[in-house]
């Protein structure tokens, strides 16, 4: 009788294994790799316009000619870097310095630090992919793409920020 049970179990496993394998293959084929993600641009258009006006005034007063992203982000590519550019599904290793418009430093790292790009503020998600490994960029980030109306730590609500970022590596 034990041979029948083992034989029966063997037959069930024999039929179940290909079905399970097929199911795994189908789900993996239909699953995207996460790289079709896009930054969250669902923000207050009123606050975004205030941010843009403030940034444009700062840039004009500082005689800085910045490129304009369709989102409202302003940026200056200091060094385009290599052809290896990140997508939101990548980890990025960066050095950076973040400042208020008055020049006070908010945060910085001289040692490369890694982050999943998708977990960073929207301004970084929009700006960092504009350069490749080894490149550097200055981002003029509207508050709605930074810490928004809530702020964080020493950053008050609705504060525009400037980040100088060097993209050390993409993984």
Give the pLDDT confidence score for residue 35 in this predicted structure: 73
Which of 3.30.2290.10, 3.40.50.1000, 1.20.1270.10, 3.10.50.40 would CATH assign to domain 45-170? 3.10.50.40
Q: Where are the domains of the chain?
A: 1-31, 45-170
What's the rounded Cα separation, in Å, for the pair 137 and 79? Answer: 7
Give the pLDDT confidence score for residue 22 in this predicted structure: 38
Give the pLDDT confidence score for residue 129 in this predicted structure: 98
Sequence-separated (6 or more) residues with CB below 8 Å from residue 140: 55, 58, 59, 66, 73, 74, 75, 160, 162
Give the pLDDT confidence score for residue 34 in this predicted structure: 52
pTM: 0.80
Give the pLDDT confidence score for residue 115 in this predicted structure: 97
Three-state DSSP at 56 gives helix
For 139, the enclosing helix (H) or strand (E) is: strand 136-141
Give the pLDDT confidence score for residue 24 in this predicted structure: 39
Give the pLDDT confidence score for residue 128 in this predicted structure: 98
pLDDT along the chain (171 residues), means of 10: 52 46 39 71 97 98 98 98 97 98 98 97 98 98 97 97 98 96
């Amino acid at each position: 009788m034990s041979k029948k049970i083992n034989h029966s179990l063997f037959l069930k496993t024999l039929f179940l294994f290909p079905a399970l394998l097929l199911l795994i293959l189908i789900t993996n084929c239909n699953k995207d790799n996460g790289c079709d993600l896009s930054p969250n641009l669902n923000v207050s258009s009123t606050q975004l316009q205030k941010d843009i006006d403030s940034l444009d005034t700062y840039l004009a007063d500082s005689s800085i000619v910045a490129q304009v992203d369709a989102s409202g982000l302003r940026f200056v590519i200091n060094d385009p870097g290599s052809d290896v550019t990140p997508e939101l599904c990548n980890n990025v290793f960066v050095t950076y310095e973040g400042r208020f418009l008055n020049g006070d430093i908010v945060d910085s790292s001289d040692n490369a630090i890694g982050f999943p790009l998708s977990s960073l503020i929207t301004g970084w998600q929009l700006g960092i992919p504009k350069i490749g490994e080894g490149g550097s960029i200055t981002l003029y980030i509207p508050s709605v793409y930074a810490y928004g109306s809530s702020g964080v730590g020493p950053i008050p609500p609705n504060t525009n920020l400037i980040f100088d970022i060097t993209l050390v590596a993409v993984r």
